[in-house]
Copies of this chain bind each other. A is one copy, B any other.
Amino acid sequence: MDGPILVIDRGGGRRVGEQLVDGLRRGILDGALRQGDPVPSTRALAAELGVSRSAVVAAYEQLAGEGYLEMRQGAPTRVAELDHAHAHGHERSGHHRGAARAHAPAVGVPPESVAPRIDLLPGRPSTARIDTRAWRAAWRQAAALDIPSNSPPPFGVRHLREEIADHLRHARGVACDADDVVVTAGTSEAVGLAASALTSIVGRAPVIAVEHPGYPSARRTLERRGARTAPVAVDADGLVVDALRRMPQVPDAVMVTPSHQYPLGGRLPVAARLELLEWAGSAGAVVIEDDYDSEFRHLGPPLPALASLDDGGGVVLVGSFSKVLTPWLRLGYLVLPQSQALREAIDDIRADEPCPVPGVVQDAAAALLASGAVRRHIAVTRRDYAHRRRLVLDALDGIPGAPLSGLDGGLHAVVRLPGHAASAAVVAGLAAEGIAVASLGDYSAVPGDEEPGIVFGYAGPGDTQLAEGLARIRAAILAVV
Contacts and interface: CB of A to CB of B under 8 A. Distances in A.
Interface residues of A, number: 84
Nearest to A93: B150
Given A221-B353, A356-B185, A358-B331, A151 B339 contact: no
Interface in A129-155: 130, 132, 135-136, 138-140, 142-144, 146-155
A101 interface: yes
A382 interface: no
Contact of A101 (B327, B351, B357): B351
Contacts of A196: 224
A343 interface: yes
Interface stretch (A22-30, A79-87, A120-128, A279-287): A120-128
Interface string A148-167: 11111111000000000000
B460 A149 contact: yes
A371 interface: no
B353 A94 contact: no
Given A91-B153, A153-B90, A221-B353, A136 B140 contact: yes
A188 to B, nearest CB: 4
A155 to B, nearest CB: 7
B353 A327 contact: no
A383 interface: no
B356 A330 contact: yes
A463 interface: no
Contact of A326 (B73, B95, B148): B148
B217 A352 contact: yes
A74 B360 contact: no
A187 B209 CA distance: 31
B361 A224 contact: no
B94 A154 contact: yes
Interface in A48-93: 72-75, 90-93
Contact of A189 (B92, B124, B140, B353): B353
Nearest to A182: B73
A235 interface: no
A37 interface: no
A354 B95 contact: yes
Contacts of A144: 136
The interface centre, meaning the residue of A72, A153, A221, A352 with most chain B CB atoms within 10 A of its CB, is A352
A199 B205 CA distance: 15
A74 B344 contact: yes
Q: How many copies does the complex hold?
A: 2
Given A75-B340, A139-B360, A352 B149 contact: no
A316 interface: no
A218 to B, nearest CB: 8
A179 interface: yes
Nearest to A61: B158
A375 interface: no
A116 interface: no
Interface string A187-227: 01100100010011000000000000000111011001110
A436 to B, nearest CB: 12
Given A94-B354, A189-B356, A342-B74, A130 B147 contact: yes
A379 interface: no
Contact of A148 (B127, B179, B220, B342): B127
Contacts of A130: 147
Given A224-B353, A329-B359, 18 more contacts: A74-B340, A94-B154, A95-B152, A124-B150, A127-B148, A132-B147, A135-B147, A139-B143, A149-B327, A150-B328, A151-B186, A185-B356, A196-B224, A220-B352, A328-B359, A329-B358, A330-B354, A331-B358
14 contacts: A72-B340, A73-B347, A74-B341, A74-B342, A94-B351, A124-B150, A126-B149, A127-B146, A139-B360, A150-B326, A189-B356, A218-B352, A329-B360, A357-B358
Interface of A: 72-75, 90-96, 101, 124-127, 130, 132, 135-136, 138-140, 142-144, 146-155, 179, 185-186, 188-189, 192, 196, 199-200, 216-218, 220-221, 224-226, 322, 326-331, 336, 338-344, 347, 349-361, 364, 460
